[in-house]
Amino acid sequence: MRPVPACAGFTLIEVLVALFVVALGFAGVAGVQAMALRSGREAAHLADGLQLAASLAERMRANPAAMALADAANPYLQLDFDAAAADPPAAAPCFGDGACGNAELAQFDLMEVTSDLAARFPGGRILACRDAAGASSWTCDAQPGAPIVIKLGWREHGETAAPPRVLLPVAGGGV
């Protein structure tokens, strides 16, 4: 009779410890993946918001007659639209026949931008105002000669309020 050789191998505890370490690794990878997806979504929203604000800024620059009006008469500086609280304004009635004046063109611009905001950011808000401080709050100081800025924000992750996430200067204090 020959003696039975001792079996070399892993014990059950060693196998369980190895499985635990592998499970921790997978959990870490899943957490990093979820954070990457969320960050990518937020970056895409920020890019869309910046594009929308830049579109409004270009529309404002393309209508210098409306921008030259006093602040109280400037249709662009009356923009304070919350997509969660209101429907976008109606289009200018003259736009179909091509005989729009500067005020009607501004009304059409505002309708296009607010409709786009409502479609892309259902809980979004956009505001155009004079704000020298450039603060990332919805208040504007409205000081004469202060730069015109566009503030755009939207709700994310169950937020109840939409803080401004984009602050885009349109024109210096001279306009």
Tell me the residue type at 127: L
Which distant-in-sequence residues (6+ apart) come within 8 Å of 156 by Cβ?
Answer: 42, 45
1 within domain boundaries:
no
Euclidean distance between CA atoms 110 and 108, whole angstroms: 5
4 within domain boundaries:
no
61 within domain boundaries:
yes
What is the total count of domains within the chain?
1
Residue 124: left if φ>0, alpha if ψ -120 to 50, beta else—which one?
beta
Q: What is the pTM of this model?
A: 0.76
pLDDT one-digit tens code per residue, 102-152: 888 888 899 999 999 999 988 889 999 998 876 678 888 888 888 999 999
3-state helix, strand, coil in the chain (%, to 5): 45, 15, 40
17 within domain boundaries:
yes
3 within domain boundaries:
no
SS3 state of residue 45: helix
- Provide the terminal-to-terminal Cα distance of the chain, rounded to the nearest Å: 105
| Order of strands across the sheet that contains 125-130 | 80-82, 125-130, 148-153, 164-171
6 within domain boundaries:
no
91 within domain boundaries:
yes
Q: Which domain holds residue 94?
A: 12-171
Euclidean distance between CA atoms 70 and 102, whole angstroms: 14
pLDDT one-digit tens code per residue, 84-101: 887 877 776 765 556 778
104 within domain boundaries:
yes
Tell me the residue type at 20: F
pLDDT one-digit tens code per residue, 29-66: 999 999 999 889 889 889 999 999 999 999 999 999 99
